[in-house]
Amino acid sequence: MPNSYPRFATDTEQQTSVAIDETTDEKQEERWKIIAHDDTVTTMDFVIRLMITVFHKPHIFAEAIMWQVHNEGNAVVDVLPKTEAERRKNKATAAAWMEGFPFKVTIEKA
């Protein structure tokens, strides 16, 4: 005889469902490029530290991005949904301002 009690989702099933919903929303949101710009004041060490702490880049990639910014004038740091791109841009700009650097980060549609 089949069980007539209602079946409730387990915690794991609920977490999976939420994770899938968040991923779907993120995929539907437009992607934006985060661009770092060169200046003559901001130190290379600060740019590397910013790439690691704000943009979660491994040290080797942080150095590569820093050198590209230095040599080419700018570099695409990441491509993210607009809300996350804006959040990281603002965090990077605030960190630069707090240390007295004019380091500029912008975003544009990917």
The whole-angstrom separation of Cα 62 and Cα 55 is 9
Q: With respect to residue 61, please indicate whether it lies within any of the assigned structural domains.
A: yes
Residue 29's pLDDT is what?
Answer: 85
Residue 10's pLDDT is what?
Answer: 57
Compare 3 and 45 and report the one with higher pLDDT: 45
Q: With respect to residue 21, please indicate whether it lies within any of the assigned structural domains.
A: no
Q: With respect to residue 2, please indicate whether it lies within any of the assigned structural domains.
A: no
Range of the domain at 94: 30-109
The whole-angstrom separation of Cα 99 and Cα 110 is 30
Q: With respect to residue 83, please indicate whether it lies within any of the assigned structural domains.
A: yes
Q: With respect to residue 94, please indicate whether it lies within any of the assigned structural domains.
A: yes
Q: With respect to residue 8, please indicate whether it lies within any of the assigned structural domains.
A: no
Q: Is the dihedral of CA 65, 60, 31, 29 positive or negative?
A: negative
Q: With respect to residue 43, please indicate whether it lies within any of the assigned structural domains.
A: yes
Structure tokens of 66?
Answer: 């820093």
Contact 86/107 with Cβ under 8 angstroms? yes
pTM (two decimals): 0.74
Contact 23/52 with Cβ under 8 angstroms? no
In this structure, which amino acid lies at residue 15? Q
Q: With respect to residue 102, please indicate whether it lies within any of the assigned structural domains.
A: yes
Give the mean model confidence (pLDDT) for residues 39-61: 97
List, for residues 1-44, the tens digit of each pLDDT value: 555 555 555 555 555 555 555 555 556 789 999 999 999 999 99
List, for residues 58-110, the tens digit of each pLDDT value: 999 999 999 999 999 999 999 999 999 999 999 999 999 999 999 999 999 99
Per the structure, the count of domains in the chain is 1
| CATH number of the domain bearing residue 102 | 3.30.1390.10
The whole-angstrom separation of Cα 35 and Cα 108 is 8
Residue 28's pLDDT is what?
Answer: 76
Compare 47 and 21 and report the one with higher pLDDT: 47
